[in-house]
Amino acid sequence: MSVKFTILGSGSAGNCAYVETAEARILVDAGFSPLQIRKRLATLGKTPENLSAILVTHEHSDHIAGILGLADKFHIPVFCNRGTQDGTIWAFKTKWDSKKKPAFAGMDGTEHLKAKIDWRLFETGASFEIGDVGIETFSIPHDAQDPVGFVLRTAAGTIGFATDLGHVTKLVLQRIRAANVLVLESNHDVKMLQDCPRRSWALKQRILGRHGHISNVTAAEAVAQIMSADLRQLYLAHLSRECNTPALAEHIMAEQLHHLGAKHVQLQIAAQDVPCATLDL
């Protein structure tokens, strides 16, 4: 069986990707509602009942919104580090407390979440396996508890994930250089962000900071540093709706690929509202 890869959606309103091999069916993040994830999987002829695992990069809502509903109902293991587990539990507990929901079976919200989800904790930098997929983790600079990127090694190729990062570290470059398929953040155009009247000064500083999000230009510079004959497919992800456009992000990266002579790399923009076409590795 070939390895199939689909970005179900990517952006500030939700992030989720699906990887299927002969022995594993994995979600990378689950940042949409359980119903929305079910609908998007259904476009592939898949259902959440058959998922093997959910990998979580960090605890921000656009990466964890569907975790509780999926993991609890369908008994899907959730793989993350301790910081992300703590942040996820806190996020859901805060949501419950704000709705004044009662304790569950004599437990407070924290205990309930720890008990209801099959947490599989790893140390950042560790490697492990899910079925026939080898998974490597690495640290990402972002304003979360302990955010990570992933490299998934399959029989058909290697898939790298580096999104939600304020700058591109040497470690990130080292890890994603091995990818045949790379999902890379291209969040904003700096001028559009600076000029955006709907963003506060504090939010602009956060996004532009070293633990915020990278721009189109920074993403292009990163690709120049990791380019090799092995990179075949490049997805630009987590585009801002207000401070970027798909056409602009694509133009800047396409110019970089042309400058590098990287005719072998297929470029695609990951959309927020609809899944990308499934890639057969």
- Using the predicted structure, report yes or no on whether residue 112 has a pLDDT greater than 90: no
The pair of structure tokens assigned to 179 is 């990818």
Q: For residue 105, name the pLDDT band (cuts at 50, 70, 90).
A: very low
Query: Quick one: average pLDDT of 133-150?
Result: 98
Residue 31 domain flag = yes
* Number of domains making up the chain: 1
Residue 143 domain flag = yes
| Phi, psi angle pair for 197, to nearest 5° | -75, -15
Residue 162 domain flag = yes
Percent of the chain beyond pLDDT 70?
94
> What local confidence, expressed as pLDDT, does residue 107 receive?
44
- Using the predicted structure, report yes or no on whether residue 82 has a pLDDT greater than 50: yes
pTM for the model stands at: 0.94
Residue 280 domain flag = no
Q: For residue 109, name the pLDDT band (cuts at 50, 70, 90).
A: low
Query: What contacts 260, CB < 8 A, 6 or more positions away?
Result: 223, 224, 227
Q: Helix or strand or coil: residue 247?
A: helix
Strands 133-139 and 148-154: antiparallel
- Using the predicted structure, report yes or no on whether residue 279 has a pLDDT greater than 80: yes
Give whole-number Cα distances, 260 to 78, 168, 225, 226, 255, in Å: 39, 19, 10, 11, 9
> What local confidence, expressed as pLDDT, does residue 1 receive?
65
Residue 117 domain flag = yes
Query: Quick one: average pLDDT of 90-113?
Result: 63
Residue 93 domain flag = yes
pLDDT mean across residues, the chain: 94
Residue 281 domain flag = no
CB-side exposure of 135: number of CA atoms within 13 Å? Answer: 26
> What local confidence, expressed as pLDDT, does residue 94 receive?
75
- Which residue segment(s) compose the domain that 245 sits in? 4-275
CATH number at 69 reads: 3.60.15.10
What's the pLDDT tens digit per position in 226-273?
999 999 999 999 999 999 999 999 999 999 999 999 999 999 999 999
- Using the predicted structure, report yes or no on whether residue 89 has a pLDDT greater than 50: yes
- Using the predicted structure, report yes or no on whether residue 106 has a pLDDT greater than 50: no
